[in-house]
Amino acid sequence: MTDLFSIRGKVALVTGGSRGIGYMIARGFVENGARVYISARKREACDQAARELSQYGSCVSVPADLSIEAGATALAGAVAAREPELHILVNNAGANWGAPLADYPDAAWDKVLNTNVKGVFFLTRALLPQLEKAARPGDPARVINIGSIDGLKVPLLETYAYSASKAAVHHLTRVLAMQLASRGITVNAIAPGPFESKMMAETLNRFRDAIVNSCPLGRIGEPEDMAGAAIFLSSRAGAYLTGTVIPVDGGISTR
């Protein structure tokens, strides 16, 4: 029981790990003994985050643009060159775009779907050899996709491509879970509610009081809430889950 939630010694890759939810998960992994690689599109931000996280353990910056297949392939190659086995892949990198219905542009759909959906698919596929090598009987390799409660319920803002993309991530999670179970890989999703992050900043600036009042637990999510869910899915405690979408939202999605 003392090792039930342990991830010590595991190798993890967290995309979009330089800030927000990705940073929260990466810090939780590092502080609990995992060897962590983080990626982000902006090299300077990724390098800075890795330096900060290295205060708590092992963290390496591997910048990448996951909006294109070549970027996913390059990231997978860079990680594989350092690590023959990858125990945990967290597909967190994402993009958002808000605009009124009448003005919502084609470019928004391309940017958001390329990063949020295609990026998840291509990176997971590219890292399958390393994930398969990491799998052990009773301790599968883990893929954790970061969706959103906006993919479960209608969002407050007009983020058409984002909410559609996160619903797609949830279902892609189920499809991949079915395909990869026989290869010793579980695939689950976390659907975060409101957390302090750059992506969530505008929504919280405009609707913080309303969001808190609508949350059965009466607060905004904290870093430990997100790190705890990811650690659970990555540890022995979560080894028998696959194809699940777990809302981490204080109960908002129940309304």
What sign does the CA torsion over 40, 43, 48, 52 have?
positive
pLDDT-above-90 percentage for the chain: 91
Report yes or no on whether pTM surpasses 0.85.
yes
Q: Are 202 and 196 in contact (CB under 8 A)?
A: no
DSSP 3-state of 202: helix
Would you place residue 173 in the very low, low, confident or very high pLDDT band (cuts 50, 70, 90)? Answer: very high
Give φ, ψ of 136 to 5 degrees. Answer: -130, 155
Candidates 145, 88, 105; CA nearest to 122 is 145
**188-241 pLDDT tens trace:** 999 999 998 877 887 888 889 989 999 999 999 999 999 999 999 999 999 999
Fold (CATH) for 11-248 = Rossmann fold (3.40.50)
Mean pLDDT of the chain: 96
* Residues tagged active-site: 162
| Cα–Cα dist 57/112, whole Å | 33
Rg of the chain over Cα atoms, rounded to whole angstroms, equals 17
Residue 53 predicted with pLDDT over 90: yes
The values of phi and psi at residue 152, to 5°, are -110, -30
